[in-house]
Amino acid sequence: MSDTSMAKGNCLCGMVILSTTSMDRHVAACHCSMCRKWGGGALLVVECGSDVSFDGKENIGVYQSSEWAERGFCKKCGSHLFYKLKQNNQYYIPVGIFDNSEGLVFEHQVFIDEKPEYYSFANETKNMTGEELFAQFTSSSEK
């Protein structure tokens, strides 16, 4: 998906509709224990920057999952809507919410050190531990 095309999607019940013009075409998987507890498995997301708009905002619940991030969900059907970094309003949207998955590529996995042994993905990806991921955020915020 290019930065100029509009990506749209919705929750399971349709009460929350989201759109963005900055959907990254690279899909990421997070294996951290929080994401696995939230959805029962790895969280598959695409980065959408801060350019995400929602219709039906009154149906969005937000859980402050850490000092640096929050998770959004539909209060009607429970669908996971986003993982958002508070510092820069960076949205990571579950890829399955979007109506069109054409051109998407499964590119990387984070918290690979927390991935349980009972599943694995066949795709060749870039893999990062939790420590490597946090180091990346620390070094980029110091620049």
Q: What pLDDT digit, counting tens, does each position of 11-54 carry?
A: 999 999 999 999 999 999 999 999 999 999 999 999 999 999 99
Average pLDDT over residues 108-122: 96
pLDDT of 121 > 90? The answer is yes
Question: Any idea where the domains of the chain sit in the sequence?
Answer: 7-141
* Alpha helices for the chain (secondary structure H): 33-39, 130-141
pLDDT at 140: 53
Average pLDDT over residues 119-127: 95
Question: Is the Cβ–Cβ distance between 82 and 95 less than 8 Å?
Answer: no
52 by Cβ neighbours in 10 Å (0-12 / 13-18 / 19+) ranks as: buried
Looking at the domain that runs over 7-141, which CATH code has it been given? Answer: 2.170.150.70
d(CA 90, CA 97): 17
Of residues 4 and 36, more confidently modeled: 36
Of residues 17 and 4, more confidently modeled: 17
> Which pTM was predicted?
0.89
Average pLDDT over residues 88-98: 96
